Amino acid sequence: MKFNLKALPVAISIAMAPSIALADDADAKIAKLEQQIQALQSQQNANLKDKVKLNGFISGAYISSDNDAGYNSADTSANFSEDSKVGLQATFDISDRTQAVLQLMMRGEYDWEVEAEWAYLSHRFENGVKLRGGKLRVPLYMYSDYLDVGYAQPFARPPEEVYGAVPFSSYTGGGVSYDVDLDDSTLTMQMFGGESKVKSTGTDVSNLIGANVNWTDETWTLRAVYGQAKFDGSVTSEADYTVLQLVDDTGSFTGVGASYDNGEVIAITEWTRIEVDAAYPDTDSGYLTLGYRIKEFTPYVTVAYMKTQDNDERLPLSQAAAIQMIAFNAERMAYSLGLRWDAIDNVAVKFDITYADDFGDTSGGFLNNSLDTTTGKFIYDDTLIYTVKFDAVF
């Protein structure tokens, strides 16, 4: 048999034709699969973008004082940490009615350690009831939900006399709220409960329970709150001396507030009362802030006070009672003059001068204001604090 060499390439081509066709078909299927994967990824990314909302806020501040009394941790040196903070918040829409919220905070006063201030799951039922569980903000004050968001506040800082009275700002537990829509206003009722811990002292806060009611027509806002809890732990002095031991002692918080904002005139006031068993101080405090918007500028004035109401329970009949008098008895007035400048969109610059005096025969509530044993009087009877701060949201 004679083999025709000229026909060999043709024969090879014919033999390979099915393999080439199969390879081309496989390549087409792979390309189509890759397109489908890319389409799914694009759709998933779009869904995530729609479901996840990211925002944040930042504050940077300079504070100093004319002495070392310790108002807001200020002294004669420049302090850039105390009121400086960064927060990042993510909200994930699990469904139309269910959300997961995470807020991470970094504060200069705590060496910029990352801490979850909020970490909770919320669900709104069809009847309007909203249920939340996880780590939440304790809703005691008018600005509790925006306590770290300086941009949402007219002043450089919430008045220390009121907002510094409760040594913890968040709790682990749950809360339920319900909004009642009236003709031109909204009534919100909220209940909350859980536990917490005082970071500065390690005091355990248990059986925390409370409720508040808030009414607003977007111009006027009225608010009332009541809460109580059990406290266990040691209250120590600057020298780590145990001043008081709390053992399952009950504390309560009562507060009322009101605000008016018509776009030009601002008026805000809050009054609170704190009562705690044993020798821990019962304290009344309050403030009034008035401001007026002039284009991008908002000058404001604040008058605040705080005073312990149970000083007679710490009469110096013993050394321990005398130490408790020095540590706990406190009163003062504070006067603030400030200016908020909305320099650009989402950025505000604030200037504040606060003068505190009328300490009576007390330290004014300042740990650094120690008793002079030679004169029997406290070292400082007033203090002046300067603040320059910027607040931004993004």
DSSP track, 228-283: EEEEEEEEE-TT--EEEEEEEEEEEEEEEEEEEESSSEEEEEEEEEEEESTTSPPE
Q: How many CB atoms lie within 10 A of CB 30?
A: 10
What's 123's domain CATH number?
2.40.160.10
Total domain count for the chain? 1
Residues 328/316, Cβ–Cβ less than 8 Å = no
**CA distances (Å), origin 384, targets 62, 72, 225, 353, 370:** 14, 11, 32, 7, 17
d(CA 169, CA 186): 25
124 domain-assigned: yes
93 domain-assigned: yes
pLDDT at 342 over 60: yes
Confidence of residue 317 (pLDDT cuts 50, 70, 90): confident
Closest CA to 307 of 326, 288, 333, 325: 333
28 domain-assigned: no
56 domain-assigned: yes
314 domain-assigned: yes
pLDDT at 125 over 90: yes
Residues 325-346 have a mean pLDDT of: 96
270 domain-assigned: yes
The gap from C-alpha 337 to its chain's centroid, in whole angstroms, comes to 24
Residues 47-51 have a mean pLDDT of: 74
303 domain-assigned: yes
Buried b (16+ CB within 10 A) or exposed e, 305-343: bbbbeebebbeeeeeeeebbbbbbbbbbbbebebebbbe
d(CA 389, CA 272): 27
349 domain-assigned: yes
For residue 340, the enclosing domain spans 52-393
What does R_g of the chain's alpha carbons equal in angstroms? 31
pLDDT at 140 over 70: yes
Residues 286-300 have a mean pLDDT of: 98
